[in-house]
Amino acid sequence: MQKINSWQQYHEQAKKLIQIAIPILLAQIAQNSMGLVDTIMAGRVSAADMAAISVGASIWFPLVLFGQGLLLALPPTISYLNGSGQRSDIAHQVRQGLWIILLVCIPLGLLIYHSDVVIQAMNMEEKLANITIGYLHTMLFGLPAYLLLINFRCLNDGVAKTKPAMVITFIGLLLNIPLNYIFIYGKFGVPAFGAIGCGIATSIVNWAMCIMMIAYSRQSYHLHDLKVFEQLIEKPDFSTLKKLLKLGFPIATALWAEVALFALTSLFLSPLGTDMVASHQIALNTSSFVFMFPMSLGMATTILVGQRLGEKSPEQAKKVSYIAIAVGLNITVITAFVTIFWREQIAQIFVKDLHVITLASSLLIVASLYQFSDTLQVLAGGVLRGYKDTKAILYITIFCYWILAMPIGYTLAMTDWIMPHLGAMGFWIGFVVALTAAAVLLLYRMWRLQGLSDELLLSRLELIK
């Protein structure tokens, strides 16, 4: 009887986890689809316009992701307060998030605005440089809206209401297509802006999604008792800001370090020819798509672990973490199987060149192994964020990506020191080694944290709530 009850508990927790994770996953797919739509529609104008989107995104994305990472301190904080019955304190966290946005918007805005310094230093052709600069300058208008959207999305995610973000992001995708059509190709009396029109459309979409998310947060009966909007602008509370930034800065830095690593590998491979870079990009795009599954599950895990800890139930938080890992590995078995057995068909989606397909197919075999390590490390990281232990994530990420992955990958890919250089395959071997190490270290950290006595663990969490 006890085994049946225990199984039912695990089943219920797994069901809740999946219910929270699926809307996050669909929102991620919609968000990524916007970038794909931009690339395809700009590519119909010229190769330079399509390239400008790619170069601009490589500058925009790491910077904006850093700002987003700072705000990712909110979901575990809000979920803990929600679980512990301290809902009256949630509004304060959200309002202080507005000060974080103001704090980060200014330097990020200046870096994006003056990105022409970096672009000119890259010695790219003048037409491409001008389009890229124009694209980034128009994207800049949507920066505050994007961060405000994230702030209020974190509010909803923190109380386990992940469907609003999914619905709003899909509306944003549907809005993005006609706006791109108007501003890229010049319709209804509007001049044709090409790739710069993508920046205009994206900024408008960001503001539209931001307004929808704020309107939902204001009207939702789930959030009425929080009274977030009664006094939306309050004085900065340096104690709260310090706690949020202490949690958020390691997340932001770890995200930036990860994005920078993959961006650099593409640059290092560029002297080896377009076929090598193309095959690497196919494996990277495929892995990025698959990564959305464990990432969504990891974000859901953070929310549920935070709630259980707020309910003063470390044992239930532990169960959530084990269930998340079990669910994640089951999904990864499927995605790895698909990646291995349909690797050539996957490569053919991107290109028709047989040599590139052959190169990409070999990389996708390694990418299937990479998925297991990636799933374990992102889920363990999600658990640790629920425990508000973000410094460990930063230290482990920096060590594994930059002390292990980059030197190993560069040595195998670009030099003949150990064996004849392997090109892109060398970097992918480095990724597998680094992510396996990250998974082991993060799981060990999780195990050590969960081994603390309930009293000590809960007292630590109360200090940083």
Convert the pLDDT of each residue in 178-224 to its tens digit.
999 999 999 988 898 988 999 999 999 999 999 999 999 999 988 99
Q: Which of 304, 240, 223, 208 is nearest to 97 (CA)?
A: 240
| Vertex 140: Cα angle to 214 and 37 (nearest 5) | 80
Q: Which of 315, 444, 305, 280 is nearest to 383 (CA)?
A: 305
CA distance 145 to 207: 5
pLDDT of residue 159: 92
The residue whose two tokens read 């991107």 is 350
CA distance 327 to 442: 18
pLDDT of residue 370: 87
What Cα–Cα distance (Å) separates residue 374 from each residue in 171, 287, 349? 30, 10, 24
Low-confidence ranges of the chain (pLDDT < 50): 2
Q: Answer yes or no: are the C-beta atoms of 364 and 343 closer than 8 Å.
A: yes
The total of other beta-carbon atoms located within 10 Å of residue 322's CB is 13
Side-chain half-sphere exposure of 23, counting CA atoms within 13 A: 18
Phi, psi of 88 (to 5 degrees): -65, -20
Q: Which of 66, 82, 43 is nearest to 180 (CA)?
A: 43
pLDDT of residue 241: 95
Convert the pLDDT of each residue in 313-367 to its tens digit.
999 999 999 999 999 999 999 999 999 999 999 888 877 788 888 988 999 999 9
The residue whose two tokens read 């090109």 is 423
Q: Which of 328, 318, 414, 322 is nearest to 373 (CA)?
A: 328
Residues near 176 by beta carbon (within 8 Å), at least 6 away in sequence: 34, 37, 38, 201, 202, 205
pLDDT of residue 290: 92
